[in-house]
Amino acid sequence: MSFYKRTKRIMDERAFEDLVKKEKEKLYRIAFLYVKNENDALDIVQETIYKAFTSIETLREVKYFSTWITRILINNALDFLKKQKKILLSDEIDKINNLNNEKAENKIDLVNAVKRLKEPYKTAIILRFYKDFTIKQIANILDCPEGTVKTYIHRGIYKLKLDLGKEYVK
Cβ atoms within 10 Å of 65's Cβ, excluding its own: 17
**Whose CA is closest to 45, among 19, 63, 27, 71?**
27
Higher per-residue pLDDT: 102 or 154? 154
Taking only the tens place, the pLDDT of each residue in 54-112 is 888 888 888 888 889 999 999 998 888 877 754 444 444 444 444 444 555 556 677 77
Q: Do both 56 and 125 map to the same domain?
A: no
Q: Do both 54 and 99 map to the same domain?
A: no
Taking the whole predicted model, whether its pTM rises above 0.95 is answered as: no
Q: Do both 1 and 59 map to the same domain?
A: yes
> Residue 149: is its pLDDT beyond 50?
yes
- Residues 6 or more apart from 142 whose CB is under 8 A from it? 71, 74, 120, 123, 124, 148, 149
Number of domains making up the chain:
2
Domain containing 69 equals 1-88
Among residues 65, 88, 111, the one where a domain terminates is 88
Dist CA 51 CA 98 (whole Å): 35
**Whose CA is closest to 64, among 150, 133, 147?**
133
